[in-house]
Amino acid sequence: MTEVSRSSVPRRHGARRRAARAHRRHRGGAFWALGLQYHLPVALFNEQYLGLFLGLGLAGVFIVVKAHPAAPHDRVPWYDWAAAAAALGVGLYITILYPSLSYSLASLSWDRLVRRRSRSR
């Protein structure tokens, strides 16, 4: 069996930083799972939290996964950065504006919707 010396294994710079970021994410998830958000002075919907992670997850996918096989391997193309920024924008939009969106949809009744459509014709 061949032994590998420590000098031949590439060291990952920033591994501690990545571990610290992962630890903070887990703390945020534990905060939500324990229901501590109900003790905050601001009302938060579950959908706001999910919208935030939708944006973060989609942005990560756009940056890590290649769009097609001919995409460059050494860098992230500009259109993937643009799609990641759009995904973050959508996630933040849902996170920030979800309460007003849900209240406006709840106050819209079917008869008002039908009257609006008939006036526009």
The total domain count for the chain is 1
Q: Is residue 11 part of a domain?
A: no
Res 9: pLDDT? 47
Q: Is residue 92 part of a domain?
A: yes
Q: Which residues contact 45 (CB under 8 A, 6 or more apart)?
A: 98, 99, 102
Q: Is residue 48 part of a domain?
A: yes
CA distance 8 to 109: 68
pTM over 0.85: no
Q: Is residue 57 part of a domain?
A: yes
For residue 80, the enclosing domain spans: 39-120
Could you report the per-residue pLDDT of 8-67, keeping only the tens digit for each? 545 555 666 666 666 666 666 777 778 777 787 877 788 888 999 999 999 999 999 988
Residue type at 35 in one-letter notation: G
Could you report the per-residue pLDDT of 55-111, keeping only the tens digit for each? 999 999 999 998 888 888 888 999 999 999 999 999 999 999 998 888 887 776 777
